[in-house]
Amino acid sequence: MTQKTAVIIGVGPERGVGAQLCHRFAKLGLHVFIAGRTLAKVEAVAQTIRDQGGLATAIEADTTDEQAVIALFEAAKAIGPVSLSIFNAGNNMPGDFLTMEASYFERCWRIACFGGFLFSREALRAMVPNGEGTLLMTGASASMRGKPNFAAFSSAKGGLRNMMQSLAREFGPKGIHVAHVVIDGAVDGDRIRIGRPEVAKAYGEDRLVDIEGIVDVYQHLYQQPRRAWSLEVDVRSSVEEF
């Protein structure tokens, strides 16, 4: 039996969306290639998966580095056909517009939009010859609208969303399911609980978005039959205003 692989980039802390996606798809039998900018973090996630009997390989990769992204998919293809690719890069990057450095705006775009292009191109190059596969992209409320102090982030995430729509229409007929997940709210994970506990306290338990619920959505998209594909799903807590 051919070993299918999954490539997930934008993996950070153990209790984060990226890491939990890796755990879930490893449990579904995929060999997960875990990519992120910090090797120690992705290796820790990979080791936990291996300790639990799953298949995982950690690779240090910056999504804005073309050669690194190409090498990431070459490594995955060497193990087996790429069945799933998830682009989860691009953290929230607010900023005052009048004082914003051009380099800051460009960096935001390079991570969330240009990086999405590089990742998607290599994912599709890997999956199209097989006539099947799933490409999922993580979005945010900034993908849908621009709020004050979020001009850079909104332009980058909005560009990623528009690119995703183009890819879905171009590659759906070729057997590739391309979909976008809008995470509208603060995720109940390490970045908030440990990195910004004051935000977690201010939000309260009910307003933080449940990680397991988010991962359920990605799994559902991956398992959707060809005659019932979703283009976009948004996820938020019941008390989030939108």
Taking only the tens place, the pLDDT of each residue in 66-104 is 999 999 999 999 999 999 999 999 888 899 999 999 999
Q: What residues contact 157, with CB distance under 8 A and at least 6 apart?
A: 90, 112, 113, 139, 140, 142, 143
- Residue 179's DSSP bridge partners are 136
Average pLDDT of span 234-242: 91
Q: Among residues 152, 160, 208, which one has the least CA distance to residue 181? A: 160
| pLDDT digits 0-9 by tens, 6-31 | 999 999 889 999 999 999 999 999 99
User: What is the pLDDT, as a whole number, of residue 203?
Assistant: 84
Average pLDDT over residues 137-151: 92
Is it the case that residue 1 has pLDDT exceeding 80?
no
Structure tokens at 11: 């993996």
- Under the banding of pLDDT at 50, 70 and 90, the label for residue 195 is confident
Query: Could you give the CA distance from residue 64 to residue 50 in angstroms, rounded to a whole number?
Result: 28
C-alpha distances out from residue 97 to 104, 110, 141, 197, Å: 10, 18, 19, 27
Res 186 pLDDT > 90: no
CATH number of 5-235: 3.40.50.720
Please provide the DSSP assignment of 225-240 as one string.
-GGG--SEEEE--TT-
Which pLDDT band holds residue 242 (cuts at 50, 70, 90)?
confident
Task: Identify the three-state secondary structure at position 59.
Answer: strand
Confidence of residue 191 (pLDDT cuts 50, 70, 90): confident
Q: What is the mean pLDDT of residues 159-179?
A: 98
The token pair at 112 is: 């969330």
Percent of the chain with pLDDT over 90: 83
Residues 6+ positions from 51 with CB-CB distance below 8 Å: none
